[in-house]
Structure 1
Amino acid sequence: MNFYDNVGKLAIGSRLRQLTEKITEDATQIYQLYNIDMNPKWFPVFYVLSQGASRTITAIAKEIGHSHPSVSRIISEMAEKGLVKEKKDKTDGRRNMVSLSSKGEEITEKIEAQYADVNSAIEAIADNTRHDLWKAIEEWEFLLEQKSLLRRVQEQKKERESRKVEIVAFNPSYQQAFKALNVEWISTYFRMEEADYKALDNPQGYILDNGGHILVALYEDTPVGVCALIKMNDPEYDYELAKMAVSPAAQGKSIGWLLGNAVLDKARSLGAKNVYLESNTILKPAINLYHKLGFERVIGHSSPYERCNIQMVRVL
């Protein structure tokens, strides 16, 4: 059974590495065929230097898309073979300029025939394929430059795990989690205040009995996030989004986003025209979440919390 047919795209790195190794092995023998003493991995550096002007290692690395340490190692290896030379930059003595040695220049003349034959061989392969590998590589490089494979996998992981999150209404069995999750984040950044204890010690009397609601995020049946929608006695604002907390162990699963949207949907179902909140700008992920949810900064009323330095509202 063909391993790659069985595993599929999961093994893309292994398959590309195998293809690279096969081509590199052939390249080594091709250099020998033309009596050129060259390591295939040196080629990008050699080719750049063969264009004439001397360059710094930094400039070479930038041009070929390699790291500075990688190019530095290649230059050292080529220098041992006598293919390159280094000298101080006349305008900046702190920089070394790299160029081909006379031995390297000789290879530049000898290698032209190899270039022509290799190019013809590759074009012949391309003529017998249905897909243009070169263009496909360019497309993949462009897309991965915009967003790495790691980032894309992280997003898929987050989306998959977020589908396991269930948002449910508060009941007394969640009171301990409601308090613990909030105490955890408040104590990490600030200090618990009187208004915190009022809401967290008696959510039934302080929030629910006054027309508010509390939503709980469950991940595999465990409470990992909470958020309250508090009815406000205010002519300007209808409800307040408050006491949102997510367990650090459950972050990265879009729980804050899911809770925020669920609270806004709840407010709409209650006929609210807007939702107000108070926060602190030190909580950058939270502020970014609120902006993403559509909240905008306002100058609100006096806050019962010392830690409050930003007030926001979401018009529904």
Structure 2
Amino acid sequence: MAIGSRLRLLTEKVTTDAAKVYNLYGVRLQPKWFPVFYILSKGEAKSITDISKEIGHSHPSVSTIVREMNKEGLIKEEKDETDGRRNVVSLSTKAIEINKKLQSQLADVNNAVEDIMSQTQNNLWHAIEEWEYLLEQKPLLRRVLEQKKLRESKEVEVVEYQPKYREVFKALNEEWISQYFKLEPQDIKSLEDPQGYIINNGGAILVALYKGEPLGVCALVKMNDDTYDYELAKMAVSPKAQGKGIGLILGNAIKEKARSLGSSNLYLESNTTLKAAISLYEKLGFKKVAGRTTPYERANIQMAMDL
């Protein structure tokens, strides 16, 4: 809000004087017309779309300016010679005469701006270009969301499973599975008895607490084969906690837990309709693999990673 307000105030100061400058030189132009006028002053007829792209204004904005200039007799409109389906506009004879008168005004304005620039420590043009470039690469909204996630992630604590988290482990997993698929026998076994089915068999469960409330869970299931050591399974985050980076925090914590248990790799099964989950797994370092038999009907993708 502060940035926008300061820029608007600066714009108002310049625009107010700009209107007076045109009167000073006896030029009948409105300041807001100048970008369109300047583009057309180069002599080439252009479509509204072409002008919009060149000056960075919206199509409706340029259309409005062209209509206003047309009323003042500054624009002539004709069919495009290369494409008769579209119209192009150019400066009228009256506007060309104004452009000749405008040259001395432009020279004086340019020198006045250069004088201001010489008295400043920071180049305004360069600063604006930098901001425009950076916001084009990553909009302000996305940057704020990242900062929000970073701040909230500092309030996330990952702890080892305890019997008191049994119902949370079950409820969070049942919630997401039921939303997209159906509970299968393998789900029921692990959710009904996580201590016996996962932990007592050499696995582990981690729980993510946000401000002390358990809102995320993830399990390491010991695998009894020669290819993979542990399976990352039963990762679930409460909908009210999504967007806080809990999934990534849990995923990294489970990787460290697997390393501490002597694992050299991790394996998982998922479904490609879960795009956010697949993206998270890829961010954690998992890559697609194939060839294993799965006990889950819903599993249509297998992924693994080396630790």
Bin for the TM-score computed over the shorter chain: over 0.9
Q: In the TM superposition, what is the alpha-carbon distance from 1:103 to its structure 2 partner?
A: 2.3
The structural deviation recorded for 1:19 is 0.7
1:81 equivalent in alignment to 2:69:
no
Which of residues 15, 18, 30 is equivalent to 1:27?
A: 18
Correspondence for 1:6: none
Residue in 2 that maps onto 1:7: none
After superposition, residues 1-316 of structure 1 pair within 5 angstroms as: 11-316=2-307
Write out per-residue CA displacement over residues 27-55 of structure 1, whole angstroms, 9 at most, x where no aligned residue.
Answer: 11111111222221221111001110110
Residues 262-305 of structure 1: CA distance to partner in whole angstroms, max 9, x if unpaired? 00000001111111100111111111111111111112421010
4+ runs deviating over 6 angstroms: none
Equivalent residue of 1:233, what SS? Answer: coil
Residue 5 of structure 1: aligned partner: none
Post-superposition offset of 1:62: 0.8
* Deviation sequence 1:47-96 (CA, Å, 0-9, x none): 00111011011111111112222212222222222221222223323312
Query: In structure 2, how many angstroms separate the alpha carbons of the residues matched to 1:37 and 1:107?
Result: 8
Q: What's the C-alpha RMSD, in Å, of the aligned pairs? A: 1.5
1:201 and 1:240 mapped to 2: Cα distance?
18
CA distance in 1, matches of 2:23, 2:236: 65
Helix, strand or coil at the partner of 1:217: strand
Give the secondary structure class of the aligned counterpart of 2:120.
coil
Provide the C-alpha distance between the structure 1 equivalents of 2:214 and 2:64, rounded to a whole number of angstroms: 53
Closer/same/farther in 2, CA of residues 82 and 247 from structure 1, 3 Å limit: farther
Q: Distance in 2 between matches of 1:302 and 1:277?
A: 12
When residues 81 and 180 of structure 1 are mapped into structure 2, their CA distance, relative to the original with a 3 A threshold, is farther
Paired residue type of 2:216 = G
C-alpha distance in structure 1 between counterparts of 2:206 and 2:176, whole Å: 17
Unmatched segments (≥5 aa) in structure 1 = 1-9
- Deviation string, structure 1 residues 242-275 (Cα, Å, up to 9, x no partner): 0111122222211111000000000001111111
Count the aligned residue pairs.
307
Amino acid at match of 2:185: E
Deviations 1:92-127 (A, max 9, x none): 233121111222222211111110000010111111
Amino acid at match of 2:120: T
- Higher mean C-alpha deviation, range 146-155 or range 158-167: 146-155
Q: Give, as a single letter, the amino acid of the residue that structure 2 aligns with 1:304.
A: P
| 1:307 positional shift | 0.9
Structure 2 distance, partners of 1:86, 1:95, is: 10
Match for 1:97: what amino acid? V
> Which blocks of at least 5 consecutive residues in structure 2 are unaligned?
none
Q: Which amino acid aligns with 1:190?
A: F
Superposed CA deviations along residues 178-237 of structure 1, whole A, max 9, x for unmatched, are: 122212221222122111111112212211221111111111222221111111122211
Q: Percent identity?
A: 65
